Amino acid sequence: MNRIAIIGSGIAGLTFAWLAKQSGNHVTLFESQPRLGMDAHSINLDLETGPGPCDSARVDVPPRMFNSEDWPLLTRLYESLGVESQVVDASKSFTVENESSWLQLGNQYRGGFSVSALLNSKVRGVAAETARLQAEVTEEALRAMTHELTLGQFLDREAYSDDFIFDFLFPGLASTVLTCSYSALLNYPAKVALLSLLNQVDRSPLRRTSLGTADVVDRLIVNIDDVRLSTRLTSVSELDNHVTVSCPDDAENRFDQLIVATQANSAAKLLSDDPKLQRVRETLEAFEYENVSVVVHRDDSFMPPKASDRMCFNFNSRQDRTDAMCTMWLNRFYPEWSESGNVYQTIRPTRMPAKDTEIVIAAMQRPIVSQKSLSAVKDLQTHNAAGSRVSFIGSYAAATVPLLESGVASAFDLAGKMGMEAPSDLFETASD
C-alpha cells in the first residue's frame, strides 16, 4: 500500500483521490481553503416563499452542467458514483446591451428559429450561418484540422459575419462553454473550440446533478483516509525514496507519491525550492489564466426588458462587441424551487448588479487554451509518464476544454499510468 498525498480538491484532485483509494492506497488530501475546492463557492440560499418560515436551497456557483458527448468521462464517473442527474432547461435569449432581445431559442438550435423571428433580417442571416457552421463542422473536418488554426482565423477564412460571431456565437462560448474573454476566444485552437461546440449543440440534452455539487464531493471523499482543510503547504521536495511536503509550522510530511492538483500557477510556486523539479516548473509557468467572476443576485435589469423574452440562459453582448455575459434565471434552472422572488446567476458580468440585490460574488480563475498551452500539456504528460514521485493534474492538464471534463481526464490518465485499477473501463476511455 502506497502513501499518496494530493494537493488540491477540485474535480481533478477529488477524482484521483477516489481512484487511488479504490486501488487500496492510503490517501491524504490537502486543501488550503476551509472548504473542498469543487464546492467552495456554492451557497445555501434562503428562499422567499411568502408568509411563514423560509425554505433554503443549495446553489452551485458556478453552475455545473454536462452531457455525455462533451463530458464523457465525467458522465461515466457520475454513473460509477451513483450520482443522479436531470435535464436542464436550455432555453436562451440573445440581447445587445441597452436594446430589446433580438432572438429567443428553445432547447435546440437546428430548426429552432421561429417563423416570426425569421422576419428579422439579422435573425435570417444568423440562422443561415448557424446552418452553414453545423454543415461545415463535421467530425471528419475536425480530424483534418491542425491545432495551429485559431478560432479567429477559421471564422475569418470562412467569412462569417460580425452579427453571427459577436452577437450569437461568442456570447455563448465566452460566458458558458469556454468561459473566457473574446480575445482569448479569437486565439483558441479552432479544433478544440469547435469540437466542444459540435458535442453540445443539438445532441444529448444538458444535465445537472440532482443534488448539486456537494453530493458529488461527498461521494468522492467518503473513504479518504485523511482530509486536511485550511492547510497551506509551502514547499515540495522529491527525494530518492519519498516526497516531502512542508507546512508553515515547519512540519514535514513524507509520502511515497505526491499528486499536485492545484492550478498550474499555484503548483509552480510550490516547486521553487527543489532543483530536481525546475524543468516541470517551467512547463507549469507556460499556462495562462484569466480572472472570472460569477455573481448571484436579484437585479431584474440583467434580464431582457420584455417578460416574454426571458429564458433560462440570457446572453447579453456589449454594444462595442468586445465581451458578453450570461444571466441564468435560477428559478427556471431549479424548477423544484418554491421561490416567489426571482434569483439570477450572472457569469462574467460586464457590469455589476445593484448593491442591494447582490447575494454573493465569486472570484475564480480559468486556464486559457492556446497553441502554447497545448504544447505544455504534452510536456507535462511526458513528465507524469517518466516515473517522478511528483505528478501534476488539473483542468489545465488535458488537451480539451479546461473545465470538469479535462480535470477528470487528467486524473484518469495519471491513474492509468500508475497502474491503478478502475471500477470500469474508464482508463481505456480516457486514452482513446
| Number of independent structural domains in the chain | 2
Residues 263 and 332 in one domain: no
To which residue does cell 479535462 refer?
Answer: 406
Residues 250 and 113 in one domain: no
Q: Are 347 and 294 in contact (CB under 8 A)?
A: yes
Q: Which long-range contacts (CB under 8 A, 24 or more apart) does 61-64 make?
A: 61/294, 61/296, 61/345, 61/360, 61/362, 62/179, 62/294, 62/345, 62/347, 62/362, 62/364, 63/208, 63/328, 63/333, 63/345, 63/347, 64/208, 64/209, 64/212, 64/213, 64/404
379 assigned to some structural domain: yes
Buried b (16+ CB within 10 A) or exposed e, 33-71: eeebbbbbbbeebebeeeeeeeeebbbbbbbbbbbeebb
Residues 171 and 305 in one domain: yes
Residues 178 and 97 in one domain: yes
Kind plus residue range of the DSSP H or E element containing 244: strand 243-246
What are the pLDDT tens digits along the chain (432 aa)?
A: 799 999 999 999 999 999 999 999 999 999 999 999 999 999 999 887 655 555 788 899 999 999 998 899 999 999 999 999 999 999 999 999 989 999 999 876 666 787 778 888 999 999 999 999 999 999 999 999 999 999 999 999 999 999 999 999 999 999 998 999 999 999 999 999 999 888 877 678 899 999 999 999 999 999 999 999 999 898 888 888 999 998 877 667 899 999 999 999 999 988 877 788 889 999 999 999 999 999 999 999 999 999 999 999 999 999 999 999 999 999 999 998 887 789 999 999 999 999 999 999 999 999 999 999 999 999 999 999 998 999 999 999 998 888 899 999 999 999 999 988 766 556 554 444
Residues 346 and 393 in one domain: no
Question: How do beta strands 243-246 and 235-238 pair?
Answer: antiparallel
How far is Cα of residue 362 from the mean position of the Cα atoms in its chain? 14
Task: Pick the last residue of a domain from 347, 367, 387.
Answer: 367
323 assigned to some structural domain: yes
**Domain encompassing residue 277:** 3-32+231-288+368-430
Residues 279 and 321 in one domain: no
Residues 302 and 422 in one domain: no
Rg (CA), the chain: 22
Strand ranges, E, within 154-206: none
Residues 105 and 172 in one domain: yes
174 assigned to some structural domain: yes
Q: Give Cβ neighbours of residue 33 (< 8 Å, ≥ 6 apart).
A: 40, 229, 230
Q: Are 75 and 66 in contact (CB under 8 A)?
A: yes
To which residue does cell 451557497 refer?
Answer: 43
47 assigned to some structural domain: no
Q: Are 134 and 110 in contact (CB under 8 A)?
A: yes
Residues 165 and 295 in one domain: yes
Residues 294 and 345 in one domain: yes
3-state SS assignment for residue 75:
helix
219 assigned to some structural domain: no
Residues 353 and 363 in one domain: yes
Task: Pick the last residue of a domain from 350, 367, 384.
Answer: 367
Residues 390 and 418 in one domain: yes
Cis peptide before 34 (omega within 30 of 0): no
Buried b (16+ CB within 10 A) or exposed e, 361-398: bbebebbbbbeebbebbeebbebbeeebbbbbbbbbbb
What CATH number is given to the structural domain containing 236? 3.50.50.60
Q: Are 342 and 298 in contact (CB under 8 A)?
A: yes
405 assigned to some structural domain: yes
Task: Pick the last residue of a domain from 367, 390, 419.
Answer: 367
218 assigned to some structural domain: no
Question: How do beta strands 390-392 and 257-260 pair?
Answer: parallel
384 assigned to some structural domain: yes
